[in-house]
Amino acid sequence: MPIHKRSAKYGRYTGGPDPLAPPVDLAEALDAVAEDVMAGYSPRHALQEFLRRGGRNRDGLDDLARRVQQRRRDLLSHHRLDGTLDEVKKLLDTAVLEERKQLARDAMMDNTDRAFREMQLQNLPPSTAAAVNELASYDWQSGSAREAYDRIKDLLGREVLEQRFAGMKQALESATDEDREAVNAMLRDLNELLGKHRRGEDTDADFQEFMARHGQFFPENPQSVEELVDTLAQRAAAAQRLLQSMSPEQRDELMQLSAQAFGSPELLAQLSELDAALQALRPGEDWTGSERFEGQEGLGLGDGTGVLQDIAELDELSEQLSQSYSGSRLDDLDLDALARQLGENAAVSARTLAEIERAMQDGGYLRRGADGDLRLSPQAMRRLGKSLLRDAARQLSGRQGSRDTRMAGAAGEQTGSSRQWEFGDAEPWDVTRTMTNAIRRTMADGGDPARGLRLAVGDIEVAETEARTQAAVALLVDVSFSMAAEGRWVPMKRTALALHHLVSTRFRGDRLQLITFGRYAQSMDIGELTALPALREQGTNLHHGLLLAGRFFRQHPSMQPVLLVVTDGEPTAHLLPDGDSWFNWPPDAETIRATVAELDRLGRTGVQATFFRLGNDPGLERFIQRMAQRVDGRVVAPEVGDLGAAVVGEYLRAHVRSAYADGEWF
């Protein structure tokens, strides 16, 4: 049987978004949104800011809006609107010159007639339109002169049609009388259809019949009378704005010249009727606006109308990109218009931004709270916490003897999982997987495992274990105004998120309480802390924070209490018996006594305490050092960028100390 070969062509998918394209990467968007949320912005505002800024190697809305405005300025600064007048003047000069040459060559002509003709040509009005109209009845002696003059009428006819129907100038460049009659027939039928539509008497059959007769004049392929009216009205309104943008002299010249279009007064009458019908059907179009053109490149009536349409489209894109109207979404963007004006890459950027917005709002990363505002969802918090914990782990892994946060526990029962050995690990080796790794590496290097194996560090895997010692962890974070003023607000929140993710995913038996202390202290869940705006009230009420920590520890008496305190200032407030907060600067002696007394009570419960001192204030340094000594605690003074790694590391260290104290390592 014969074999039939079939060939196939492959190219860029043009039917909308590529169905095989990978989903958008939300990691960058989520990180940026969360960073702004932690800085005090609402999630809605944070998402809008990310969409405006864009991401790595991707334009944002502001970039696209800037390019839209630049293109608008370019159109106005590169063009002027007298292109048709210039073309007509050149054709007129050619006709007059050729006629004079013919008169000079024609020896058989009567001298009187020659003199009269030369005088008529010599005394033509300076106005191009007036000269063209005066020569309308002139009996040309030169064939080339007559041809040049007829080209003026043809040019004007094609230009006035191009103003209403894009592409008509080229389509009628070599038009015959039959072609012109077809245009007149189309205009008559169009005006009849629009008249019936205005009166509500048209039917779908009327539209289909019209398109069957004259569809070749409408490359936009409208599917209904309404779509047809929209297309024509936008073009006609742009033609009106073009005339309004001309100088009064240019406008008068063109209005006079239009009478010569195709030498057919009927054409102008049909176009005037069409304009009136479109203006009545679409009064909302801009029929009276104007623009200031200041360039050197002349535009004809058709091209100028196209430029005015481009400017109107750019203005609509600018409004869409601003997203300043109620209920705005990036799905409102006209991607086809954006591609026309700025190129396909701009449309791709906008489509990606729209997909990010849709995925963030509809994909579960932002959810609407009871008050109607958008908030980071638990899914978003988990993803962000995972990213922040990974950052902290990366910082920890660069410290000698440190432990990666991927460990499942400090000691105890094996989980059945294993991981690559890291410096500082004390878990037992997973011998089977270690040997398997060595065999695979040896064979990949071309060796023979039967002749012996040499272990490499990268081959070693250790068995993950669950920690038997559970901890009740109270993370106290300073939210006084100085934290925000000194740039420590966001790092503090990032630290809380990283620790929260570690406890909730790796140490599920532990309990974590987040406590903020400013003028007062309060317990918060991670979502509340993340969304907490920067507070401007003064006061560092560590006393109240320690009271809440003590209550939390008493709720979990069987767990090892772990206290982590992050602060950048000495206590300046304490809680009074009636519940009010007493504030004083410099720190009051009573505030210090109350804070120290509460810390001593916690110390008697065996709390493991670590104080994270931010900043280099000598008074704070002395105070924190003495506080740590009272409970046999530790002081860590990290750079603000290392705060997350420092807190996570201390939490892990507390687990290790607890394991040693319980004898689990022996």
| Per-domain residue ranges of the chain | 27-79+314-376, 82-292, 414-465, 471-661
Closest CA to 38 of 625, 530, 512, 542: 530
599-620 mean pLDDT = 92
Give 660 or 66, the one with higher predicted confidence.
Answer: 66
Residue 462 phi/psi, 5-degree rounding, is -115, 150
How many residues are recorded in the chain? 666
Measure Cα distances from 521 to 448, 477, 544, 556, 576 in Å: 66, 9, 5, 20, 13
Closest CA to 336 of 14, 666, 626: 14
Distance CA 535, CA 485 (A): 10
Give 647 or 56, the one with higher predicted confidence.
Answer: 647
Q: What is the pLDDT of residue 423?
A: 61
* Range in 126-135, 309-318, 413-422, 643-652 the model is least confident about: 413-422
pLDDT band for 11, please (50, 70, 90 cuts).
low
Q: What is the pLDDT of residue 18?
A: 55
Residue 261, pLDDT above cutoff 90:
no
Distance CA 479, CA 485 (A): 11
Distance CA 190, CA 195 (A): 8
pLDDT in tens, 185-224: 999 999 999 999 999 999 999 999 999 999 999 988 999 9
314-330 mean pLDDT = 86
Residue 665, pLDDT above cutoff 50:
no
- Is residue 397 classed exposed, middle or buried when 0-12, 13-18 and 19+ CB atoms within 10 A define those classes? middle
Q: How far is CA 622 from the centre of its chain?
A: 49
pLDDT band for 534, please (50, 70, 90 cuts).
confident
Task: Using DSSP, state whether 571 is helix, strand or coil.
Answer: coil
Q: What is the model's pTM?
A: 0.66
Task: Using DSSP, state whether 455 is helix, strand or coil.
Answer: coil
Q: What is the pLDDT of residue 4?
A: 45
Q: What is the pLDDT of residue 632?
A: 93
Measure Cα distances from 202 to 183, 185, 194, 209 in Å: 22, 19, 8, 11
Asked whether 222 and 275 are in contact (CB, 8 A), the reply is no
15-33 mean pLDDT = 65
Q: Where does residue 79 fall: left (phi above 0), alpha (psi -120 to 50 degrees), or beta otherwise?
A: beta
pLDDT in tens, 303-314: 999 999 999 999
Distance CA 453, CA 449 (A): 6
Distance CA 61, CA 328 (A): 13
pLDDT band for 369, please (50, 70, 90 cuts).
low
CB-CB neighbours of 358 under 10 Å: 14
14-39 mean pLDDT = 67
Q: What is the pLDDT of residue 234?
A: 94
Q: What is the pLDDT of residue 381?
A: 78
Q: What is the pLDDT of residue 356?
A: 83
Q: Does domain 471-661 have CATH number 3.40.50.410?
A: yes
Q: Residue 604 carries which side chain, given as an amino acid letter? A: R
At which residue do the structure tokens 């590169």 appear? Answer: 78
Q: Please give the mean pLDDT across all residues of the chain.
A: 84
Distance CA 623, CA 637 (A): 13
Q: β-pairing, 608-613 with 560-567?
A: parallel
Residue 529, pLDDT above cutoff 80:
yes
Q: Residue 157 carries which side chain, given as an amino acid letter? A: G
Residue 662, pLDDT above cutoff 80:
no
Distance CA 479, CA 278 (A): 64
Residue 15, pLDDT above cutoff 60:
no
Distance CA 69, CA 474 (A): 54
Residue 3, pLDDT above cutoff 50:
no
- Specify the long-range contacts of residues 423-430, CB closer than 8 Å, at least 24 apart: 425/462, 426/665, 427/462, 427/463, 427/464, 427/465, 428/462, 428/463, 429/460, 429/461, 429/462, 429/463, 430/461, 430/462, 430/463
pLDDT band for 458, please (50, 70, 90 cuts).
confident
pLDDT in tens, 219-242: 889 999 999 999 999 999 999 999
Distance CA 146, CA 92 (A): 10
pLDDT in tens, 538-565: 889 999 999 999 999 999 999 999 999 9
Asked whether 224 and 197 are in contact (CB, 8 A), the reply is no
**Which residues, in sequence order, are bridge partners of residue 366?**
376
Closest CA to 423 of 436, 438, 407: 407
Q: Return the top range by mean pLDDT from 36-40, 112-116, 386-390.
A: 112-116
Distance CA 616, CA 608 (A): 24
